[in-house]
């Protein structure tokens, strides 16, 4: 694995959530943190729910530490998540980012892998 995930914030979400079958369920959480990518591959990097301390990812937003790229910051560096492959890709404009190290920040919601916390 070429990345290290560090969860910095874990908050149980009050009220109900639903599992993938639509059954009401406690155990939804919000997780925020940092992903340190040591060797990025243009073919994508694996990021599974278990890496974030989740059983399933309902929603995820990943941002690059240095969002401005290119000459004078005219291009945007963005991170896209592929749900079916459970991988993320770093792009500059519409082109894959060069190999190397990157720092990313994430905000995700899903089913916790921990015991359900009653609030």
Tell me the pTM: 0.82
| Residue 8: its H or E element | strand 3-12
pLDDT tens-digit map of 32-85: 999 999 888 778 899 999 999 999 999 999 999 988 887 777 788 899 999 999
- ∠ CA 65-69-3, rounded to 5°: 40
- Domains with residue ranges and CATH for the chain: 3-112 (2.60.40)
Q: What are phi and psi of 49, to 5 degrees?
A: -55, -40
Nearest C-alpha neighbor of 34 from the set 96, 106, 108: 106
DSSP structure class, residue 23? -
């Amino acid at each position: 694995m070429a990345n290290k995930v560090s969860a910095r914030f874990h908050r149980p979400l009050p009220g109900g959530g639903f599992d993938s079958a639509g059954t009401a369920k406690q155990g939804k959480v919000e997780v925020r943190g940092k992903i340190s990518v040591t060797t990025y591959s243009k073919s994508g990097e694996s990021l599974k729910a278990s890496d974030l301390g989740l059983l399933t990812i309902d929603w995820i937003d990943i941002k690059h530490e240095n969002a401005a790229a290119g000459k004078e910051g005219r291009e945007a560096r963005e991170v896209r998540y592929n749900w079916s492959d459970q991988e993320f890709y770093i792009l500059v404009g519409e082109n894959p980012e060069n190999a190397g190290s990157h720092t990313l920040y994430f905000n995700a919601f899903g089913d916790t892998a921990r015991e359900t916390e009653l609030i």
